[in-house]
Amino acid sequence: MKPKGIFLLAGALLAVLLAGCEQPGEQALPPRPVLVVHPQPAHEGSGIYPGEVLARFQPELAFRVSGKIIQRTVQTGQRVRAGELLAELDPADLRLQVQAMQAQQVEAQAGLALARDELQRYQTLYERGLLSQSQLDSLRTTEKSARARLQQAEAALANAQNQLEYSHLRAPEDGVIARVLAEAGQVVAAGQPVFVLAADGPREVEFSVPEQAYAAFSIGQPVEVTLLNQPDTRLPGMIRELAQVADPRSRTYSARVSLADAIVELGQSARVHVSGPAGPSWLLPLSAIDGEGEQAVVWRFLPESGRVQRQQVRMTSFDERFVRIDDGVQAGDWLVAAGVHLLQDGQQVRGLDADNRAVAAGSED
């Protein structure tokens, strides 16, 4: 073989060996997943709160005596008139008390009649000088005591008759039975609620105020109310009542909105619209803030391209959890909420919302 051919063959073998020793090229890494969130309105209390239409006056109705319910004449949702019978207790024991008081009254009447007759006879003897002044005074005292015992018996009889009448529970005013809390055959104590009456008159909307927004609400604050069957009609209202103590289970505060003369039905679902101050202001997690020097920066995720964009913002205040932003973001923006210090402008990422769902173009939730 010629020397030139040998050199060519050796060069080819060397090239093959060198190619086999080269490291494989690095594979492209998949887009990094990032948590993205929407900015939340910073106006505490602003928003829409679900509620329910109730009567302003909803007294709990109860018997004034204890006993066993023998009949209930109304149902939930039934309209009643003032004085209408709602339920009745077994009156047997109460009637016996009336009879006992009547007997005591008869006894007291007889005692008084005897004391008066004796006083009249001895008064004649006193006038004839046959009875001393002290004896006459004693008889007068006996007659007064008999008269007092009769008054006591009459009062006890009237009380027993009242107790018998209290075995009938009647509607104190016109309205609708909102709730039934006891059934026929049940033994109830005096004062134990049996019905809740939604009295005719003004209507209100009751809703719950979150604990973190409580400071933004006050009595007299104007709001607007929409009904579920009339979503396009906004009724003016005013917060009339605001609880001072949170519910121990839900940790929310009960509030009531007065609807003035609006015609609404009991139990309707409603929405209370509370407006915040004018001007955009947003809350972001503290972990969403990046920056250079004194300039605060957030990273906007663009679902159309799957990339992040650097955005300067104006930060006005912050606490251990949130930052308040007055400029630089808008409602509906997707903003990276964690790991912002690892991002670069234009970097390809995979946006995930709080429920670990991929955020694609056109996503709003």
Cα separation, 254 vs 238, in Å, equals 14
Spatial CA neighbour of 277 closest among 326, 312, 233, 232: 326
Tokens standing for residue 24:
């494989």
DSSP-derived secondary structure for 169-236: EE-SSSEEEEEE---TT-EE-TT-EEEEEEESS-EEEEEEEEGGGGGG--TT-EEEEEETTEEEEEEE
The 10s digit of each residue's pLDDT in 330-365 is: 878 899 998 888 898 999 999 888 888 888 765 555
The 10s digit of each residue's pLDDT in 256-305 is: 999 877 788 888 899 998 876 555 678 888 898 887 767 889 999 999 99
User: What domains lie within the chain, and their CATH numbers?
Assistant: 32-43+280-352 (2.40.420.20), 47-56+201-274 (2.40.30.170), 61-88+172-198 (2.40.50.100), 92-165 (1.10.287.470)
What 3-state DSSP class applies to 6?
A: helix
DSSP-derived secondary structure for 22-40: SPPPPPPPPPEEEEEE--E
Tokens standing for residue 353:
């919302």
pTM of the model: 0.58
The 10s digit of each residue's pLDDT in 91-149 is: 999 999 999 999 999 999 999 999 999 999 888 888 888 888 998 899 999 999 999 99
What 3-state DSSP class applies to 156?
A: helix
